[in-house]
A and B are shown apart, each in its own frame.
Chain A
Amino acid sequence: MLIFIARRLLFALALLFAVSAFTYVIFAALPSDPAALTCGKNCRPEVIAMNRVRLGYDKPIVVQYGQYLKGIVKGRTYGASEGVHCPAPSLGYSFRKHQCVTDLITRSLPVTASVALGAFVLWMLIGIGLGTMAALKRGRWPDRLATGFSVVGISLPTFFVGLLAIMVFVIWTGLLPFPRYEGITSNPAKWFMSLILPWFTLAIVSASSYVRLTRNGILEVMNEEFVRLGLAKGLRRRTLIVKYVMRAALLPIVTIAGLDFAALLGGAVITESVFNLPGMGKLSIMAVNDSDLPILVATTLVAAVFIVIANAFVDILYGFLDPRVRSY
């Protein structure tokens, strides 16, 4: 098992390198000139040329990537002697915002993490709960209700659910204040209130597919021979469902849930925009609009890192959950 984990982590590390190199190359290959983006619209060509040399954009791409990696480990000074220094881990400097990218990300990430974590817990509860109920009461009204919910949830786009939620709970009924994000450390109550709507919006949209996955998974496992044998042994129905059916049915859901959660950490673009949350998604959108390359490279990289980590984590977790995986 230890060898399995070690091997999996080593692989994840290698993958991270590959992903970072790939991301860097993609953005370097873009037609926009990073040097031109460092100063305003009416930039004189001499300044652009000077900036190019100062920032190392004239060097071969491999050298640039090497400098980028070095910046992550050691920190980096952008520009010559009078330039700006970003301490390690430095993911670049945004000339648009005049800020180190790392600072921007450390400010955005907690917002996205707050949204993601709450929504994830909610949607797993709703998805697995409704899915289990539907499977156990197959063909009767709880099943119809849950299946109906999932059809509606899958069909509705996130921005629609989000705007609808704001309309109903904020504008019409006034049950909740208009969401304005507040850090958890500065005001936990306000933090919670501002996130209720985004949580539910994301949860409803994402839970829909989990209702189906859970329902179908359980129904499939129920037909398995080992469940019939368990029944033939004289096991209680409750024991059978928890120990035999759920265990097997939820295993594939672990994989999908891990990846979905990681993807969410990379930024819930639409939800963050609808509820005006200053998270990773919002940061990425702004960077796209401004052609702010350093930020884009960084947000892409951070999102990829989460996916790679989640993948490794899920694989290792799987080893613990399924004895058949362990023996490889």
Chain B
Amino acid sequence: MTNATPLLSVRDLHVSFNTNDGIVKAVDGVSFDVANGQTMGIVGESGSGKSVMVSAIMRLNFGTDVIVSGQILLNGIDLLALPESEMRQVRGRDIAMIFQDPLSALNPFYTVGYQIAEAYLVHHPKTPKAQVEAIVLNALDKVGIPDARKRIKSYPHEFSGGMRQRIVIAMALINKPKLLIADEPTTALDVTVQAQILELIDSLREENNSAVMLITHDLGVVAETIQQVMVMYAGRTAEYAAVQDLFDTPSHPYTQGLLRAVRSFDQSTRGSLVSISGTPPSLINLPEACAFRPRCSHEKGPQSTCATQRPELRTIGASQSACHLSADEVSRVQREAFSK
């Protein structure tokens, strides 16, 4: 996929939770690479394991009831094998994160200036105060907070949602991380602000030459800035492709369903949106079968491989897809979808 060693390489990642009802396999054998300077998108419904996966990459899962296995290689170093003290150095310096809800992501008891400075000082202790302040002001300037010198003394509740997300971004980028994980950074924001925030993330990515992992359930967001997309379903990879291929020739029936459920401008006058019937399965005790089978329109009956085997990721057309349909069947389905 990429020529040099990728920046981040996730191999066969499993994350499970022990609950009273049984073991929840939130992430079940996911592998992917993110190259330097690349933007990768992760798409899926709520509960498909996206957020759990990125939390696992930063090892933010506090609890004792979480089991993580596999490999998360950052420049060849396995983060899962690092002792906590070294992992702490990775957090915020090598990998930074932007959260979904900027309203609750900032500590309400400290000024934003203090919180941004704190993010810098953790990894650059004993920096002179004046220098830190200059860095903080510069960071706020870059994310477009006007009147930064005055605003660093304000508390989070004195900012709007979009402004708070800018502050979170300023905080995340202050140590120039190699990888920025944005977990649905625009979900909680107004539509008008969403585009601004995405543009901001992208321009800062370019400036720092960092890689970005953009988690979203909005396919429109994906189309703008992303090179590679991974579609997740029930904790597994459903499809993994370059963004253009995913939109032009989606291989997995789930991806096709997702695309049909989005209205694009050129087809806005005809037809109605098609939703995927049913709901995502419970992640406890998933059967040894295709997890999407109950909702799939191409499913071939209880005796077929769909019902008895878990589909592995394989190359179908331009994508990697976890589906039992043959390449011929897939292209026929694709033609049908487009002729409608």
Contacts and interface: CB of A to CB of B under 8 A. Distances in A.
A175 interface: no
Residue from the set A226, A232, A243, A248 with the largest chain B CB neighbour count within 10 Å: A232
A327 B153 CA distance: 14
A35 B110 CA distance: 61
B157 A229 contact: no
A234 B93 contact: yes
Interface string B71-100: 000000000000000001111110011011
Interface in B233-281: none
Given A324-B157, A327-B158, A233 B104 contact: no
A228 B118 CA distance: 15
A324 B64 CA distance: 34
Contacts of B119: 233-234
Given A139-B64, A228-B99, A247-B109, A233 B158 contact: no
B155 A233 contact: no
Given A232-B60, A233-B122, A226 B104 contact: yes
A225 B64 contact: no
B107 A226 contact: yes
Contacts of B97: 229, 232
Contacts of A327: 157-158
Contact of A235 (B62, B99, B101, B122): B122
A312 to B, nearest CB: 22
Contacts of B146: none
Contacts, number: 72
Contacts of A225: 99-101, 104-105
Interface of chain A, main secondary structure: helix
Contacts of B171: 229, 233
Contact of B109 (A231, A233, A322): A322
B91 A231 contact: yes
A266 B97 CA distance: 52
Contacts of B122: 233-235
Given A232-B60, A232-B96, A244 B155 contact: no
Contacts of B294: none
Contact of A229 (B89, B105, B123, B155): B105
Contacts of A248: 107-109
A236 interface: yes
A232 B58 contact: yes
A226 B96 CA distance: 14
Nearest to B84: A237
B35 interface: no
Contacts of B322: none
B123 A234 contact: yes
Contact of A226 (B90, B108, B123): B108
Interface string B102-123: 0011111110000000110011
Interface residues of B, number: 31
A139 B63 CA distance: 11
A33 interface: no
B259 to A, nearest CB: 31
Given A248-B109, A323-B108, A233 B62 contact: no
B168 interface: yes
A222 interface: yes
A327 B159 CA distance: 13
Interface string A73-115: 0000000000000000000000000000000000000000000
B109 to A, nearest CB: 5
A226 B90 CA distance: 19
Nearest to A226: B107
Contacts of B93: 234
A279 to B, nearest CB: 38
Nearest to A236: B88
A230 interface: yes
A302 B74 CA distance: 67
A234 B64 contact: no
Nearest to B104: A225
Contacts of B101: 225
A290 interface: no
A245 B149 CA distance: 28
25 contacts: A222-B62, A225-B99, A226-B105, A229-B99, A229-B106, A229-B171, A230-B107, A232-B58, A233-B96, A233-B118, A234-B89, A234-B90, A234-B93, A234-B123, A235-B88, A235-B122, A243-B110, A247-B109, A248-B107, A323-B108, A323-B109, A323-B155, A324-B157, A327-B157, A327-B158
Given A222-B62, A229-B171, A232-B96, 17 more contacts: A225-B99, A225-B101, A226-B108, A229-B105, A229-B107, A232-B60, A233-B91, A233-B96, A234-B91, A234-B123, A243-B107, A244-B107, A248-B107, A322-B108, A323-B155, A327-B157, A327-B158
